């Protein structure tokens, strides 16, 4: 199914810059301060092009390739706003989300990397967006293959599988009853809150999107990545995203 029709006079309500100030490839952490960190530490000639609602957007270059990095905020509603505007108003072609997740299988430890192969959501996000009743969505196959090959080149070990995009933060709810309702044919390896929306919206525009996650906690361990580390110590996933998206 295609993207919902937007009235011709509508302009982006949450990004305040010109189309030319956004690159066609975007790396998208959840935290806007992580976007600032990426811009300051990985990009050359980075310029803040929008800070509406403190959702920082920077455009610069990485190894000579023009690239934009911006935050998505937390949860599918926030991700859906920014992903839609980037694809629809700004002509973005590729987005890689770099985020965090909670591990749901014993094989995953802090800070393992996951290249998401599919995202499950039991709610009605897809149906509300464009009438699609699906609960399982997929990233760009081509972009995912590029990420996995790049990980090998960088000697980074990654896991792959299906993640659950929840509508609440797992620590603040009883997610076991949600997991119990997942179809037995779907094996969930981790939970996060944005990938489903990104993949579904990208697919509706026939654009590319993928997601790289860093495990910051696990149901099988008491280890928990600190707020400071979440903001500044995800360099492996950031490098993997940047190296992959410029190919």
Residues with catalytic roles? 217
Cβ–Cβ < 8 Å for 50, 16:
yes
- The residue behind tokens 């530490």 is 41
- 45: helix, coil or strand? strand
Burial class (CB in 10 A: 0-12, 13-18, 19+), 124: exposed
- E strands, 63-166, where? 65-70, 94-103, 113-120, 136-137, 158-165
Give dist(CA 142, CA 128) in Å, integer. 27
Name the token pair of 49.
Answer: 């092009």
Neighbours of 218 (CB within 10 A): 21
Whether the link from the prior residue into 111 is cis, omega within 30° of 0, is: yes
Tokens of 19: 């189309």
Can you tell me the distance from the alpha carbon of 4 to that of 121, in angstroms, rounded to the nearest whole number? 20
**Helix, strand or coil for residue 152?**
helix
């Amino acid at each position: 199914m295609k993207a919902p029709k937007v009235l011709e006079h509508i302009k982006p309500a949450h990004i305040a810059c010109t189309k030319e100030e956004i690159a066609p490839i975007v790396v998208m952490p959840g935290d806007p301060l992580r976007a600032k960190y990426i811009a300051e530490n990985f990009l050359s000639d980075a310029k803040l092009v929008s800070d509406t609602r403190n959702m920082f957007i920077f455009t610069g270059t990485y190894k000579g390739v023009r690239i934009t990095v911006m935050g998505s905020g937390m949860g599918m509603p926030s991700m859906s706003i920014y992903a839609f505007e980037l694809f629809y108003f700004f002509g973005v072609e590729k987005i890689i989300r770099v985020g965090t997740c909670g591990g749901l299988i014993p094989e995953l430890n802090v800070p393992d990397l996951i290249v998401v192969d599919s995202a499950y959501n039991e709610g009605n996000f897809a149906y509300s967006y464009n009438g699609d009743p699906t609960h399982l969505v997929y990233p760009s196959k081509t972009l995912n293959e590029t990420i996995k090959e790049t990980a090998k080149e960088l000697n980074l070990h990654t896991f792959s599988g299906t993640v659950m995009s929840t509508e609440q933060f797992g620590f603040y709810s009883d997610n076991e009853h949600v997991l119990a309702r997942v179809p037995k044919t779907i094996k969930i390896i981790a939970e996060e809150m944005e990938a489903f929306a990104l993949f579904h919206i990208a697919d509706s525009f026939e654009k590319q999107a993928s997601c790289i996650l860093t495990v910051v906690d696990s149901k099988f361990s008491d280890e928990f990545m600190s707020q400071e580390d979440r903001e500044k110590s995800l360099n492996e996933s950031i490098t993997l995203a940047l190296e992959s998206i410029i190919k």
